[in-house]
């Protein structure tokens, strides 16, 4: 990785150069094939106030360049924030390459899956379970539960006629049944 450090309207001291170089070395862990990094640090005065700006141009083999610009009052803080943003961008690019392998239609067709055998194998594993949600409940019991709970706004339940019902709190403090 070639590193080019440039200072505009400020002198890059050895401490600043060392901080930039050590920070840029952390970008190698993403294995993105970084060929060069150009760093331009500049000092500007706007409205009578001095602030620093750092610009990273990260060039990678076979990919688009990543450009990060960061302004801050302190040059070291600007460098640190820009490095964090560069790491985040490279991490996203790395995750896209690693996690999102596209599977073609031919590879899916090549997998020979017998649907009938799979369904028969799953038949033995399925065990029906009766959930509490589907047991019939009285409206009065649901109303008492809704009054006791402060954070619930509605309750969905099955009544004795096996109809799905919703009991809800209205804005005027009364209850509605649907």
Residue 99 — pLDDT band, cuts 50, 70, 90?
low
Residue 81 — pLDDT band, cuts 50, 70, 90?
very high
Residue 7 — pLDDT band, cuts 50, 70, 90?
very high
Q: Are strands 34-46 and 2-8 parallel, antiparallel or unpaired?
A: parallel
Q: Is 130 left (phi over 0), alpha (psi -120 to 50) or beta?
A: beta
Q: Considering only CA atoms, which of 57, 1, 66, 61 is closest in space to residue 29?
A: 1
For residues 3-8, average pLDDT: 92
- In this structure, how many other beta carbons lie within 10 angstroms of the beta carbon of residue 175? 16
pLDDT tens-digit readout, 26-66: 988 888 889 999 999 999 888 888 889 999 999 998 888 99
Please state, for a pLDDT cut of 70, what percent of the chain lies above it. 81
Contact predicate 54/73, CB 8 Å: no
Structure tokens at 136: 């019939």
Residue 122 has pLDDT above 90, yes or no: no
- List, as one string, the DSSP characters of 75-124: HHHHHHHHHHHHHHHHHHHHHHHHH-PPPPHHHHHHS---HHHHHHHHHT
Domains of the chain with bracketed CATH: 2-95 (3.30.160.100), 132-177 (3.30.505.50)
């Amino acid at each position: 990785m070639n590193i080019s450090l440039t200072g505009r309207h400020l002198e890059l001291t050895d401490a600043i150069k060392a901080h930039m170089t050590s920070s840029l070395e952390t970008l190698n862990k993403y294995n993105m094939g970084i060929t060069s990094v150009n760093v331009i640090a500049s000092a500007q005065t706007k409205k009578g106030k001095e602030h620093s700006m750092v610009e990273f141009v990260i060039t990678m083999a076979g990919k688009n360049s990543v450009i990060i610009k960061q302004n801050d009052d302190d040059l070291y803080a600007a460098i640190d924030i820009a490095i964090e943003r560069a790491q985040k961008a490279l991490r996203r690019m790395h995750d896209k390459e690693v996690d999102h392998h596209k599977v073609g239609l031919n590879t899916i067709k090549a997998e020979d899956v017998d649907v009938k055998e799979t369904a028969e194998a799953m038949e033995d594993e399925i065990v029906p379970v009766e959930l509490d949600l589907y047991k019939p409940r009285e409206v009065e019991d649901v109303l008492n539960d809704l009054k006791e709970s402060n954070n619930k706004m509605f309750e969905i339940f099955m009544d004795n006629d096996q109809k799905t019902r919703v009991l809800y709190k209205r804005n005027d403090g009364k209850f509605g049944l649907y």
